[in-house]
């Protein structure tokens, strides 16, 4: 058994396989997931696990170069935006429309679905490098 880090074998494998600029999505319970993008469905009940819990765990194991968020988060979910700003203070941030965000999910290596049910609690994380 692992001593530290993410215990979910699917997420651990995806993070280990990422190369520079690869994308992963951490999504709320309602984000449409493209049929050809692998899904890791963690949703258990409404709100469980939370977007923040999953982002926190992933951010500890992943070098994140850029974070992409829907611009609508600025008005519809300031609490989550503040959390993202604090969590990824060293990463570049990019805002796109929610429609453009959904199109970008087609390029992801995986979508990790949470049980989150607050508006626009979705992010695309672009992998960086440790050197």
Active site residue 4: no
Residue 110 and residue 17 in contact, taking contact as beta carbons nearer than 8 Å: no
Residue 109 and residue 24 in contact, taking contact as beta carbons nearer than 8 Å: yes
For 17, the token pair is 């396989």
Which entry of 5, 9, 20, 92 is annotated as an active-site residue? Answer: 20
The annotation status of 17 as a binding-site residue, yes or no, is no
Q: Identify the CATH number of the domain defined by range 9-127.
A: 3.40.1650.10
| Structural domain spans, the chain | 9-127
**Of the candidates 124, 129, 126, the residue with the CA atom closest to the CA atom of residue 102:** 124
Please state the pTM of the whole predicted model.
0.97
Q: How confident is the model over 66-123, as pLDDT tens digits?
A: 999 999 999 999 999 999 999 999 999 999 999 999 999 999 999 999 999 999 999 9
- Sheet with 39-41: list strands edge to edge: 39-41, 110-113, 23-27, 123-127, 64-70, 92-96
The annotation status of 27 as a binding-site residue, yes or no, is no
The annotation status of 121 as a binding-site residue, yes or no, is yes
């Amino acid at each position: 058994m692992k001593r530290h880090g993410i215990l979910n074998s699917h997420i651990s494998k995806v993070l280990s396989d990422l190369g520079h600029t690869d994308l992963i999505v951490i999504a709320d319970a309602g984000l449409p997931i493209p049929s050809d993008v692998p899904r890791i469905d963690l949703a258990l009940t409404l709100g469980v696990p939370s977007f923040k819990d999953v982002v926190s765990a992933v951010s500890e194991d992943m070098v994140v170069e850029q974070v992409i968020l829907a611009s609508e988060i600025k008005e519809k979910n300031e609490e989550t935006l503040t959390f993202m700003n604090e969590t990824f203070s060293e990463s570049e941030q990019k805002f796109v429309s929610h429609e453009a965000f959904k199109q970008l999910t087609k390029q992801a290596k995986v979508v990790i679905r949470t049980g989150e049910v607050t508006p626009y609690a979705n992010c695309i994380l672009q992998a960086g490098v440790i050197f």
